[in-house]
Every structure is written in C-alpha cells, then in structure tokens.
Amino acid sequence: MRFTVAFICSIFLFSCQNKTQVDLIIQNTSIIEVASGRLIPNQTILIQGDSILSVGDESLFDEYSSETLVNGQGKFLMPGLWDNHVHFGGAAYVDENEQLLPLYLAFGVTTVRDAAGDISLEVLKWRDEINAGKRLGPKILTSGPKLEGIESIWPGDLEIGTEEELEKALDSLKKLKVDFIKITDNTLKPALFLEAVKRASERGWSVSGHIPAALTIDQVSVAGQKTVEHLSYLMRMTTPMEEEISIGRGNGTMTPAEASKLQTETRNDSLTLVKFKKLASQGTGVVPTLLISSNIAYLDENNFEDDTILNYLGPQLKESYQWRIQRMANDTPEDKQNRKDSFEATANLIPLVKASGMKIYAGTDAGYLNTYDVPGLAIHLELQQLVKYGLTAREALEASVINGPEYFGLENSYGSIEKGKKANLILLNKNPLENIEATLTIQEVIKDGQPLDRARLDQMLSEIKKWVSKKEKQ
C-alpha cells in the first residue's frame, strides 16, 4: 500500500492535534534530587505557565507536545539557586543595582533574599514587577528597611528607641508587605533588640539579624530569631565564658579585642556542640557568609582587581568596595595574619554546626560595600567555601535551594523538581553532586517557566557589560 506525502502529514498533524499542548518540555535529562542526593536519569519535565505540570519518562510524549523543547540529554537539572543574603543599596546608583537583576539570572540565581539597604522602595517595586511578569529578574524576597537604633550609621534604616516606635515601625513594614524582618546591632538597645525579635516573630515574620554584644546567642534564639547572619557571631558560643563576655561587653568593662582573646583561649568544641544543638532545637539557623569573610581575610593574597567579573559591575558599585580596602591599607603583617587566623577559626565551626542539626542557609552578602563579593557569581563561590570547610556537595546545595524556601515557609513551591512546584530551574552540563564547581556549567536557566538558553544568557551578559562600559565613560 502506498501513502502520499499529504496523507502522512495529515496523520502527523492529527496526532499532534490530539495531544495536549504545554508551554515547555525538557527532554531526557537527569534530575538532581537535592534532598536525597539521588540522580534520576532519562526524565521528561512538562511546564505550563510558571509551574511544573508533570515529571516522568519519555512516554509523556504520547500525550503532550510543545513548540518549545529543551534537549536535556547528558545534562543535569536542578532547582535554581537561592542566594539567601544579598544587598541592593547605594541611593546614588540605583541604576547600577538594577543591572544586577539580569546578572543574577545569568548565573542561575533564580531567587535572592535581600537583607536590607537604602533603596528599599525601589527593591520592593522590582519585586512586584518581577512577580507580575513585567520585569526579568530573580524572585526577590526582601526585608525592606531593617530595624536599628537611633542615629544608626547605616542609611535607610528604620530607627527606633522605644517600644512604641517599634510597634509603629512594624506597622509600616506590614504596609510595605515585606517578606521578613532584619534587625542589626549598631545602636539598637539590647533590650529593645530582644523585644523587636519577639514582636516581629509573633506577627508571623521570620526574623534575621546580627547580635548585640551585650546579648548571648541563646537569648535571641529564645526570643524567636530564625537566623543568625554571619557565622562569626557564633564564635561567642565557643567558650564557657559567653555570659561573662556579654556582660563585660555590655557594661563596657571588656573591649572587643579582650573578648576575642578570651574566646580563643577558652574555646571548647564539646561545649559548643551542646550549645549549637540547643539553637537547633529552638529553630535557629545560621547564614555563614564565608565568602566575604574569606575575601577580607585573604585580600593581600588574591588579585581581585584583574577579575573579568568586575566588567559586569557599575563604576560606583565597584568604588563602594574600596572602603574596606582603604581601611586595611596600613595593616601590619601581624594584623593580616590575625585576620586569617580569625577567619579559619570561624570557618572551622561548620562541622560543629552540621553535627548539631542547625540549618545552614547559603548566602553571600553580595552587593554594594562588600568587597569583591560579586552578585551572581558569589553564591557559586559560597557553595565552594561551604564544601571546603565541611559540607558535602549535596548539603551545600540543600543550604541554598531547600533551606532557602524553608525560611519563608515556601517548601511546597520550591526546592525540588516535582509536579506543582515552581519552574525555576537550571540545566547544567556537569553534575554538582560530584563536584560543586559544576554549578557554574550552566546551559539553560528556566525562570517562572521562561527558558533562557546559553545564547540568551550570553546576550544578557553582553548587554550588561556594554551598559557598564557606557556608564564608565560618562
């Protein structure tokens, strides 16, 4: 029996018309199941709108078709990266901050947790525009302006000096619809700090922050603080003298240098582990931000200035990096070695944090002011630091893509590749479970169901670079 070409084409067309059309199909890829560390080969992922419709084998092609296909053969699919501590800031260069949005996506960062700055209204606007599909960028979860004391050194803070002012500040943050609360310790009175943690937690927010020297870590944990930002604060718990140090620092009878010396001389890892387990039981985790601390500690050994990643940062943002460099310009060899020793002692708390069961949230402190902590690239380097100091590659990924959503109660929408989860994904050429550096082998980014292939990502990077070059010439 002979069939005409027209007849064959009509059968093919009829077959396609009988299939359910979806927006995007990712074909024949290996899914990285971060929670278990399993690799699930030969998987097909159907995406409709901004969500995953179905996950299964190639038999899905019998029922579904799409005009947009992504070939995942030989590649590895995982949830998009979360950078759980970034800063948008610099009121004089809002435009340079805006360019960071495509930069994050180009590096596979599909969600950022913005931990306050001085351009909160702009960030909130970008957040809402991205959520509405009107702007391309990572999902932004922001604290808005952070809570601080009167005459804080940081611009853009909500300054409070009384409980009444605290209530008004929390009311204003509610009106801004912030996603969490950030509290720091520059001038905020310790008692009011604790009250702020307690009241913000009672209102249903997750609370993050620094820790006033006059308080113990356990005090802020009991009050409800969900994350300690920066691992260095946990060094206070490494000594049996923690309470005495807090009292001394609070009443001014002990200097920071004296406190640090006493901590070092009396460090007790067995006791530290017991304390960390208590924090874990109370629901307090840590955002280590190892990268920025490493950058500062080893500033004299690394030639950051020649790194081509700087071509993607605006001139004023790069200039903001200089304040720390200038501050350390006259350091003695002893000062430099002390910084390195301090960083190594802090970073080596990671195995104790891990053993305690405390949640680790991968975040970088990337953005303005924080020297050579470059948005987008930074989270990849932070994951490498976490592995260097004691996590497995799987655990490092978990700290980004699973614990990040958990902080906000968003586990049902993010953190894995399953039916109903949001389609924020990255397709890699190599397996990061085998080598964490493979997170940089990005072939494709899917943001809210929208595919950005390698050519598009490179185009985005090229456009950012051109924009920066033009800005530098002005």
Q: Tell me the three state secondary structure of residue 224.
A: coil
Q: Indicate whether 330 and 358 sit together in one domain.
A: yes
Within a domain: 251: yes
pLDDT given for residue 8 in this prediction: 41
Within a domain: 412: no
Report pTM: 0.94
Q: Indicate whether 301 and 441 sit together in one domain.
A: no
The helix (run of H) or strand (run of E) holding residue 250 is: helix 242-251
Tokens of 391: 């996590």
In the sheet with 109-114, reading across from the earlier edge strand, the strands are 139-142, 109-114, 81-87, 366-367
Within a domain: 197: yes
Average pLDDT (343-352) is 96
Distances (CA, A) of 23 to 64, 85, 137, 417: 10, 32, 20, 17
Q: Indicate whether 352 and 466 sit together in one domain.
A: no
Within a domain: 266: yes
β-strands 442-447, 450-453 pairing: antiparallel
pLDDT given for residue 59 in this prediction: 85
Q: Greater confidence, 407 or 16?
A: 407
Q: Greater confidence, 256 or 100?
A: 100
Last residue of a domain, one of 356, 387, 407: 407
Whole-angstrom Cα distance, residue 83 to residue 352?
23
Q: How confident is the model at residue 348 (pLDDT cuts 50, 70, 90)?
A: very high
Q: Indicate whether 209 and 69 sit together in one domain.
A: no
Contact 430, 438 (CB under 8 A): yes
C-alpha torsion angle, residues 326, 364, 361, 76 (rounded to 10): -150
Within a domain: 413: no
Q: Where are the alpha helices (DSSP H) in 52-189?
A: 94-98, 100-106, 120-131, 163-176
Range of the domain at 69: 5-78+418-473
Contact 376, 59 (CB under 8 A): no
Q: How confident is the model at residue 167 (pLDDT cuts 50, 70, 90)?
A: very high
Q: Indicate whether 53 and 103 sit together in one domain.
A: no
Q: What whole-number percentage of the chain has pLDDT above 70? A: 96
Burial track 80-113 (b if 16+ CB lie within 10 A, e otherwise): bbbbbbbbbbbeebeebbbbbbbbbbbbbbbbbb
21: domain CATH number is 2.30.40.10
Q: How confident is the model at residue 41 (pLDDT cuts 50, 70, 90)?
A: very high
Residue 117 CB-density burial (10 A; 0-12 exposed, 13-18 middle, 19+ buried): buried
Whole-angstrom Cα distance, residue 142 to residue 179?
5
Residue 436 CB-density burial (10 A; 0-12 exposed, 13-18 middle, 19+ buried): buried
| pLDDT single digits (tens) 229-287 | 999 999 999 999 888 888 888 888 888 888 888 888 899 999 999 999 999 999 999 99
pLDDT given for residue 11 in this prediction: 43
Q: Indicate whether 141 and 155 sit together in one domain.
A: yes
Tokens of 196: 């702020």
pLDDT given for residue 241 in this prediction: 87
The helix (run of H) or strand (run of E) holding residue 54 is: strand 51-56
Q: How far is CA 403 from the centre of its chain?
A: 10
Whole-angstrom Cα distance, residue 397 to residue 383?
7
210: domain CATH number is 3.20.20.140
Q: For the chain, give the mean pLDDT.
A: 93
Tally the domains of the chain.
2
β-strands 109-114, 20-21 pairing: unpaired
pLDDT given for residue 262 in this prediction: 86
pLDDT given for residue 207 in this prediction: 98
Q: How many CB atoms lie within 10 A of CB 283?
A: 15
Q: Indicate whether 112 and 44 sit together in one domain.
A: no
pLDDT given for residue 330 in this prediction: 87
Within a domain: 247: yes
Whether the per-residue pLDDT at 58 is higher than 90: the answer is no
**Secondary structure of 135-159 as H, E, C letters:** CCCCEEEECCCCEECCCCCCCCCEE
Average pLDDT (407-433) is 98
Whether the per-residue pLDDT at 14 is higher than 80: the answer is no
Q: Indicate whether 367 and 433 sit together in one domain.
A: no
Whether the per-residue pLDDT at 4 is higher than 60: the answer is no
C-alpha torsion angle, residues 390, 393, 394, 397 (rounded to 10): 100
Between 13-17, 75-79, 157-161, the lowest mean confidence (pLDDT) is in 13-17
pLDDT given for residue 233 in this prediction: 94
Q: Indicate whether 71 and 114 sit together in one domain.
A: no
Distances (CA, A) of 411 to 133, 268, 295, 384, 454: 22, 36, 32, 24, 28
Q: Indicate whether 177 and 243 sit together in one domain.
A: yes
Whole-angstrom Cα distance, residue 208 to residue 225?
6
Using alpha carbons only, give the angle 282, 286, 291 rounded to the nearest 5 degrees: 175
pLDDT given for residue 388 in this prediction: 98
Last residue of a domain, one of 373, 407, 441: 407
Average pLDDT (81-108) is 97
Q: How confident is the model at residue 5 (pLDDT cuts 50, 70, 90)?
A: very low
Last residue of a domain, one of 380, 407, 434: 407
Average pLDDT (368-391) is 97
- At 163, the amino acid letter reads E
Contact 295, 372 (CB under 8 A): yes
Using alpha carbons only, give the angle 105, 109, 114 rounded to the nearest 5 degrees: 105
Q: Indicate whether 275 and 338 sit together in one domain.
A: yes
pLDDT given for residue 17 in this prediction: 60
β-strands 109-114, 81-87 pairing: parallel
Q: Indicate whether 243 and 335 sit together in one domain.
A: yes
Within a domain: 439: yes
Within a domain: 66: yes
